[in-house]
Amino acid sequence: MRRKAKHYTLEFKQKAVELSYAKVSVAQVCENLDILPAVLYRWRKEQKNYGKNSFPGRGNPKMTDEQKEIARLKKQLKEAELERDILKKAIGIPACRLAGFPRATRKIQVHKTASYEISC
């Protein structure tokens, strides 16, 4: 029969890691807290590798500060590229007025999810 997965809070994990370094025996800490030694060793490793960014929660990736900054900058770059593409396509719009064409509405597909209607 399979054991039901237990979910521990951030504070519990942090205290368990602190206790494991403070006490003499990891096995004793695991017995007192009713957790498996492998789990505590995994938490210690995660705490060592990610520091304050460890234990982000279910479904959230563990990232260092540099990785978070890179993700933020990538998102900002994507938004700037989308704005640039909108402006590039909008530059061609006034040409229809100068050529003497009748007033028309033109739909511009900028991105897979974004399209705009521009009158000229």
Please report whether residue 103 resides in a domain: yes
Q: Within this chain, do residues 22 and 38 fall inside the same structural domain, yes or no? A: yes
pLDDT, one tens digit per residue, over 62-84 is: 777 788 899 899 999 999 999 88
Please report whether residue 115 resides in a domain: yes
DSSP labels, 15-76:
HHHHHHHHSS-HHHHHHHHT--HHHHHHHHHHHHHHGGG----TTPPP--HHHHHHHHHHHH
Please report which helix (H) or strand (E) contains residue 108, including its range.
strand 105-109
How many whole angstroms separate alpha carbon 30 and alpha carbon 111?
Answer: 53
Please report whether residue 4 resides in a domain: no
Which structure tokens are listed for 17?
A: 């890691």
Among residues 36, 62, 88, the one where a domain terminates is: 62
Which residue type sits at 112?
A: K
Please report whether residue 105 resides in a domain: yes
Please report whether residue 1 resides in a domain: no
- Does residue 9 or residue 96 have the better pLDDT? 9
Q: Within this chain, do residues 56 and 86 fall inside the same structural domain, yes or no? A: no
Predicted local confidence at residue 99, as pLDDT? 57
pLDDT, one tens digit per residue, over 28-51 is: 888 888 888 998 898 888 888 877
Please report whether residue 3 resides in a domain: no
Q: Within this chain, do residues 70 and 110 fall inside the same structural domain, yes or no? A: yes
Q: Is 93's pLDDT higher than 90?
A: no
Among residues 44, 62, 80, the one where a domain terminates is: 62
Please report whether residue 5 resides in a domain: no
Distances (CA, A) of 32 to 19, 37, 40, 79, 96: 10, 11, 12, 51, 78
The alpha carbon dihedral of 64, 66, 72, 77 has a sign of negative
Q: Within this chain, do residues 14 and 48 fall inside the same structural domain, yes or no? A: yes
Range of 51's domain? 10-62
Predicted local confidence at residue 67, as pLDDT? 80
Q: Within this chain, do residues 30 and 53 fall inside the same structural domain, yes or no? A: yes
